[in-house]
Amino acid sequence: MPKFVLLATDLALYFQLLVLLAYVRHAVRTPLLRQSWRYVQRDGAAMSAAVVLVIFLFIALLDSVHFRPRLPPAPDAPPGAEIAYSTRTLSVLDVLLTGPRESREKTYSVPLATHQFSKESMQRNGVTVRDFPRLQYGGKHLDQPQEQWAGDVLRRTVNGLGSGLLLALVGAAWVVHRQSRRSTQGFMPSACDVWHGRTALPWRAIGGTLTALLLVFGWVAALWPFYHVMGTDQTGNDVLFMCLKSVRTAVVIGTLATIATIPLALLLGILAGYFKGWVDDGIQYAYTVLSSIPSVLLISAFVLMIQVFIDKNPQLFETGLERADIRLFLLSAILGLTGWAQLARLLRAETLKLGELDYVQAARAFGVSHAGIMRRHILPNVTHIIVIVAVLEFSGLVLYEAVLSYVGVGVDPNTQSFGTMINGARNEMSRDPVIWWTLSAAFAFMVALVLSMTLFASAVREAFDPRARAYRVRPAAAQALPQESAP
Amino acid sequence: MLNYIIRRVLYGLLVLIGVNLLTFILFFAINTPDDMARINIGGKRVTPDAIAKWKTQRGYDKPLLFNDQAQGVEKLSKTLFVERSLPLFALQFGASDTGRDIGYELRERALPSLALALPTFLLGVFVVVLVSLIMVFFRNTYVEFWSVAFAVFLLSVSGLFYIIAGQFLFSTVLKLVPASGFAGGLDMVVFLLLPVVIGIVSRMGGEALFYRTMFLEEIGKDYVRTARSKGLSESAVLFRHVLGNALLPILTSTVAVLPLLFMGALIMESFFGIPGLGSFTIDAINGQDFAVVRAMVFLGSALYILGLVLTDISYTLADPRVRLA
């Protein structure tokens, strides 16, 4: 058995997953919540985004199970000797992607390349020449890379895309089959329904997204074992692998920082709105002070504090990974601690409104305690705001991480993140020939993550805040089909 | 009216005092001068002597709030709080940890910063209002649909990409403008063109969507129906009636943008090598120059609060209905 390592952010992610599952269970059982989420389920864009998000979340979770592998016993070790564990902490994702992780080149190489990006002096037939050396891993199965490369890549591409498409077709057939079973009509009419988007769940949008993802997945799966699909970076690391590792950091920051804002914002927002008077004045003053300090500076002050703490207590952390991880954890906590003003303001306004309503007045007349009223009558009626803000914040935080890393107060330099990738890649654009792949890869992953979250968030907002539905674009053609008439 | 303005200004001052106290706690009580010295000296050279010397050189060798060793009033005045934190209110920033005069640096750097921030802000508001009005003009058509979709996409791209891609496209490939740098006088236009455009584009997605919802809110109101029933054209309704009335919420929301402007400047200036306040701050953060960071926190908050007070005032000027309670 390897030795499992529980990092602070791992625990936080597991905890959030539990909270999420508990919320899902609660939402399924509560008719009103079920109604709201059904609105999200009917939204094609939101469901497509959800598919992408689930995949990102899955990657992040795979990357959050850490352990230190057991080392093979030394040859001369006596039986029953203490088991030695590697000093490197790996995650399940690392193990699944052992190939790309360990196939480290010397320096830059173009995506799918067989040769290095820059020339090197080498001995050939006893003469020193400057040429592009072969890569150690990328395309090493080819004997004559010049002649074989195009054919090999093409063959594998076709194979990969073909198997992706095949999987997608099988999946589509299964969906249509289930639809036809449920609606008791034939296979072809059901297929037509799905194709024209006439199903309760937007299967057409979901299927489209899944097909696209499967095609990409098939292509990557066919080529990655043999080439660096997105090239390598300055120190020869596989860029696609780096992107996948960055997903976890983005997800941790996005979710953890949001969760960290909630307790403070909830407590202070409701207190301010409920008690009014000097409590309100005090809390308003506190968040005005906090929000008037430029957030980058506030965060950098806190981050310096963390750095001092980490430097002073090196004995607390066994490995470098733990040290980097605690910084990530504390950074998220700080983002939460400094970012509660906006949510508190919204909660305060809502509580002010609720406090005047008859049922709250009635509860007060019946002598329910202040704490009781806030817990039983106000809290449940402001949760929708929390849900809306939580999903809206996520995208902003992922983008913010990149900025913070650029300023130098973001994650630990050893933590793989989109911010550190962009930061490392920004000078490459001025090189000639230009090194475009690191930045493009980080760009693609970030846009996919943030865009899906934005789309999902806007549907959630419309679901929980019916006023927001008025802002929905309904092009003339779509207007003919009213939104609510889906079966 | 005057009464109201005075009250707002006083509240702003109170907030500024809060900011001052908070920064004092952050930079002196939690991150103690000893820690600063340790980070600044760095590595193996950290000895008690070195720390003491570092502190004496920079005047950090005093107690935080109360000086036992001093006599009379000096018990209170020979402290870090009075010497380092209070003078900020008089805009006396003192010397940075590397020995430069912060006040002089700020005066030198204010102009380049302003030259970048002001056009970005004003042109930005103008362009975004125009774009969102056009979106509303074409509402419920595919023009709106695709422009909203495009805005959502713009919103999802990190600001850093706009800068890097913009620099690459316009400086490296097309060679239209220099990649970075700054010059005084009229020459600065060449250097500022790209940062201003990128600054606007990177904020456009989110703000266009936001202004669009504000215009849509206005468009459902009675006076719009009246204007239409008078037979006014749609463009007259939008650009004369709706725009005028939506200016008020736009005005309030621009203050919310001010901190973003600050952050945008931070990154923009350091990417484009503009010797402004933003790049000064970034250099200070990277060089762990706490005196400068503290001064910038104070200055940044003061500007934000000034913006807050000015909005409150302009709010009452723009809409006579706003009660001055």
Q: Provide the ipTM.
A: 0.83
Binned at pLDDT 50, 70 and 90, residue B259 comes out as: low
For testing contact with chain A, the best of B158, B162, B167, B283 (most A CBs within 10 A): B158
User: In this complex, do B22 and A454 lie within 8 Å of one another by their Cβ atoms?
Assistant: no
Residue B159 pLDDT greater than 60, yes or no: yes
Q: State how far residue A81 is from chain B, nearest Cα, in angstroms.
A: 39
What's the whole-number average pLDDT of chain B? Answer: 80
Kindly report the three-state secondary structure assignment for every residue of chain A. CCEEECCHHHHHHHHHHHHHHHHHHHHHHCHHHHHHHHHHHHCHHHHHHHHHHHHHHHHHHHCCCEEECECCCCCCCCCCCCCCECCCCEEHHHHHCHHHHHCCCCCCECCCCCECCCCEEEEECCEEEEECCECCCCCCCCCCHHHHHHHHHHHHHHHHHHHHHHHHHHHHHHHHHHHHHHHCCCHHHHHHHHHCCCCCCCHHHHHHHHHHHHHHHHHHHHHCCCCCCCCECCCCCEHHHHHHHHHHHHHHHHHHHHHHHHHHHHHHHHHHHHHCHHHHHHHHHHHHHHHHCCHHHHHHHHHHHHHHHHHHCHHHCCCHHHHHHHHHHHHHHHHHHHCHHHHHHHHHHHHHHHHCCHHHHHHHHCCCCHHHHHHHHHHHHHHHHHHHHHHHHHHHHHHHHHHHHHHCCCCCCCCCCHHHHHHHHCCHHHCCCCCCHHHHHHHHHHHHHHHHHHHHHHHHHHHHCHHHHHHCCCCHHHHCCCHHHCC
Per-window interface: A 465-484 vs B, CB < 8 A: 470-471, 473-477, 479
pLDDT at residue B116 tops 80: yes
Angle between helices A31-42 and A44-62 (to 10 degrees): 100
For an interface test with B, the pick among A43, A284, A289, A290 (most B C-beta atoms closer than 10 Å) comes out as: A289
Q: Which of A289, A454, A473 lies nearest to residue B144, judging by beta carbons?
A: A473
| Mean predicted confidence (pLDDT) in B186-207 | 85
Non-local CB neighbours of B198 within 8 Å, separated by 6+ positions: B162, B163, B166, B268
pLDDT at B43 over 70: no
- For A308, which residue in chain B has the nearest alpha carbon? B35
| Least confident piece of the model among A105-119, A251-265, B25-39, B253-267 | B253-267
* Chain A residues inside the 8 Å CB shell of B210: none
Q: pLDDT value at position B263?
A: 64
Low-confidence ranges of chain A (pLDDT < 50): 477-487
What is the model's pTM? 0.87
Can you give the pLDDT at residue B75? 67
Q: Which residue of A has its CA nearest to B148?
A: A473
Q: Is the pLDDT of residue B52 over 70?
A: yes
**pLDDT confidence band for B76 (50 / 70 / 90):** low
The whole-number pLDDT of residue A479 equals 46
